[in-house]
Chains A and B, each alone.
Chain A
Amino acid sequence: MNKLRLSLSVLIFLMGTALWAEIIEVCAACDVKSIKDGIVLASDHDTLLIKRGTYKEFNIVIDKPLTLLGEEFPVIDGEDKGEIITIISDNVTVDGLFIINVGTSYTKDFAAIRVVKSKNFLIQNVVLEKLFFGIYLEKSQDGRVFHNNIIGDAVEEFNSGNGIQLWYCRNIEIEQNIVQHVRDGIYLEFSDDVIIKNNTSSNNVRYGLHFMFSNNDIYEGNTFENNGAGVAVMFSKKIKMLNNSFKKNWGTASFGLLLKEINDAEISGNSFEENTIGMNIEGSNRITYANNEFIRNGWAIKVRGACYTNSFVNNNFLYNSFDISYNSKLNDNVFEKNYWSDYTGYDLDKDGIGDVPYRPVKLFSYIVNRTPETIVLLRSLFMDIIDFSEKVSPVFTPDNLLDAMPLMKKSE
């Protein structure tokens, strides 16, 4: 419904501009030579058509409802002097610009495009390079960030910014963006009702996606690859994570997805492939994990404690070094009808469900939790023997932690 309303309002807004808005051309040979002059000249709902060329400008403040339309990607070069575009009016569209050289500061968060306390904005087809912060949305709502390409050159955390940052925002759509080489690909803080869809966030210094205190958000169909530490979702409620792909987050403290203090979420259809830790869960309750795939991770799921009433149903655990690791003897989570590639049981009544329960926590993973150095004994005969004896009669691992109905074949 929200989406429909948004697209309708965009449509009406576009029709409006076509009917009585003026087009102001900006180029080196035109009457209006700079974007700033164009904004001063323009009246509400006009379009600034920015032609090909390089514009060395910064601190461009858009204070009236305008459309900034780039023709063949005009370059706006901030020359590292500060913020480039600041939107402080409702109904602003920025389309087709190439923005480079945002100033770096240790006291101010300079952004390529900042939206402050505005509604109904649209930022699309923008390419950002050599940036500090990319697109910074601040106390804004009902906007859309669509099909942008953000390529940073971040090396270290302390002097780099985030690709797309939301702070106290509501009802925003972030779709089909590509974010690379920044600190956090997409960062949300105190932002509710946000939809993050089909984005690619890779090679970032810290997190691919970072959630803090944001509720009722959906992220769907995104790809997070090769980020410093993966994706972190913290202190949030009612989040839906659907069909995302978490790949190749390798490193000492790296994981595909980190959940910390997350309640009532739904995590389904995601794939976790070749991460050091597929999913790291801490203090998260009432979450449904369904139809996820865990392929060749070091640890598929690491449960750190204080996780209650979660249910893991219909997931595929394929060739992980450890399927589940637990650090306590208490278990209140349900594992049911998952497929485990390590399962060795049989199915006599041929109903597709194994007759012997599967115990996903190995004694070895318990030992590794206690003394991390013991990981060097991975796959040694001795470990297989004690894992086997623990499987037969559990002493150290929670004895009610089992999948009573393991699937015999991969669930589709």
Chain B
Amino acid sequence: MLKILKYSFYDLMRSRWSYVYFLFYLALGFVLLFLNNDLSKAVITLMNVIIVLVPLISTIFGVMYFYNSKEFTELLLAQPLKRTSIFLGQYFGVAGSLTMSLVLGLGLPFVLYGLFKSDAIWDFSLLLITGAFLTLIFTALAFNIAISNENKIKGFGYAVLLWLFLAVIYDGLFLLSLILLEEYPLDSFSLVATMLNPIDLSRTLILLKLDISALLGYTGAVFKSFFGTNLGLMISISMLLLWTILPIWRLAYKSKRKDF
């Protein structure tokens, strides 16, 4: 598996795409810091980017990579190799290189601008951790979609739809149900609904570090007492872990049974 991981990783390194991705984040980080020169403000803008762009890029890139390397996969399948190690190797290669581009691309400008001397370091590391998790989760979901759909167009369609659903539509439905059910106590409902969507979960985690004064009103108190504590943080991190492990497990399961 490690060999395939290494191969996929270097393949991506060579293919320029991870450089483009890396340079994009690098430029973004520098421009943000150049424009407002204030670490904690830049972190807020970055949050918007991470919540929206990271899942989108991971999804598209994951699906694209899977379909593109199909012939190579078929070649590997002919070798005496375990199927799970082929697919998991590819997955970790892609996810690993994307994560590295993200962390390095964003990390470098911030470190150069004096992150270690600033008190925004915890907010920033949380930002990077959630970004990394989102990459892992959405690449895994993309691989799942690709492995279940032979048709490329369909696969792409589903992948974009998945992103659209989790990033936008889910919140719309969430909002709608909150308004429709406004007569009922909604604290635990909204807590659960937040936990079920990795994008919402990441957003809430970061928000609680940033906009606490606003969130402390009304329901915010409930959220703060949940996510603000160590237990809440542990639960949300393990929720993100679960979100990562489940698709990977399904990928391994599917890859064993798929007829090529």
Do residues A373 and B218 form an inter-chain contact, with CB atoms below 8 A?
A: yes
Partner pick for A252 among B182, B212, B217, CB 8 A cutoff: B217
Q: Which B residues are CB-close (under 8 A) to A254?
A: 216
Closest Cβ neighbor of B179 among chain A residues: A371
Q: Which B residues are CB-close (under 8 A) to A299?
A: 214, 217
Do residues B200 and A321 form an inter-chain contact, with CB atoms below 8 A?
A: no
Digitize B155-194: 1 where CB-to-A-CB distance is under 8 Å, 0 elsewhere. Answer: 0000000000001110110110011001000110010001
Partner pick for A322 among B47, B212, B214, CB 8 A cutoff: B214
Interface size on B, residues (CB 8 A): 35
Do residues B167 and A376 form an inter-chain contact, with CB atoms below 8 A?
A: no
Closest Cβ neighbor of B215 among chain A residues: A375
Q: Report the contact-size class of chain A (Cβ under 8 Å from the partner).
A: 20 to 34
Counting CB contacts under 8 A, is B228 at the interface?
no
Do residues A375 and B219 form an inter-chain contact, with CB atoms below 8 A?
A: yes
Partner pick for B213 among A275, A381, A385, CB 8 A cutoff: A275
Counting CB contacts under 8 A, is A334 at the interface?
no
| Contacts A277-B217, A371-B179; A379 near B203 (Cβ below 8 A) | yes
Counting CB contacts under 8 A, is A276 at the interface?
yes
Closest Cβ neighbor of B182 among chain A residues: A371
Distance in angstroms between the alpha carbons of A46 and B167 in the assembled complex: 79
- Nearest CB of A to B205, in Å: 12
Do residues A298 and B178 form an inter-chain contact, with CB atoms below 8 A?
A: no
B192-213: which residues lie under 8 A (CB-CB) from chain A?
194, 200, 203-204, 207, 211-213
Counting CB contacts under 8 A, is A129 at the interface?
no
Q: Which A residues are CB-close (under 8 A) to B200?
A: 376, 380
Q: Which A residues are CB-close (under 8 A) to B190?
A: 373, 376
| Contacts A319-B41, A374-B179, A379-B203; A276 near B211 (Cβ below 8 A) | no
- Nearest CB of A to B251, in Å: 27
Kindly list 7 other residue pairs between chains A and B, CB separation below 8 angstroms, not including A375-B217, A381-B168. Answer: A252-B217, A252-B218, A367-B175, A373-B187, A375-B214, A376-B223, A381-B52
Cβ contacts A to B, 7 pairs, < 8 Å:
A296-B213, A321-B211, A321-B214, A371-B186, A373-B178, A373-B218, A379-B203
Instruction: Enumerate the 4 nearest inter-chain pairs by beta-carbon distance, A residue then B residue, closest first.
Output: A298-B214, A382-B171, A372-B218, A321-B214
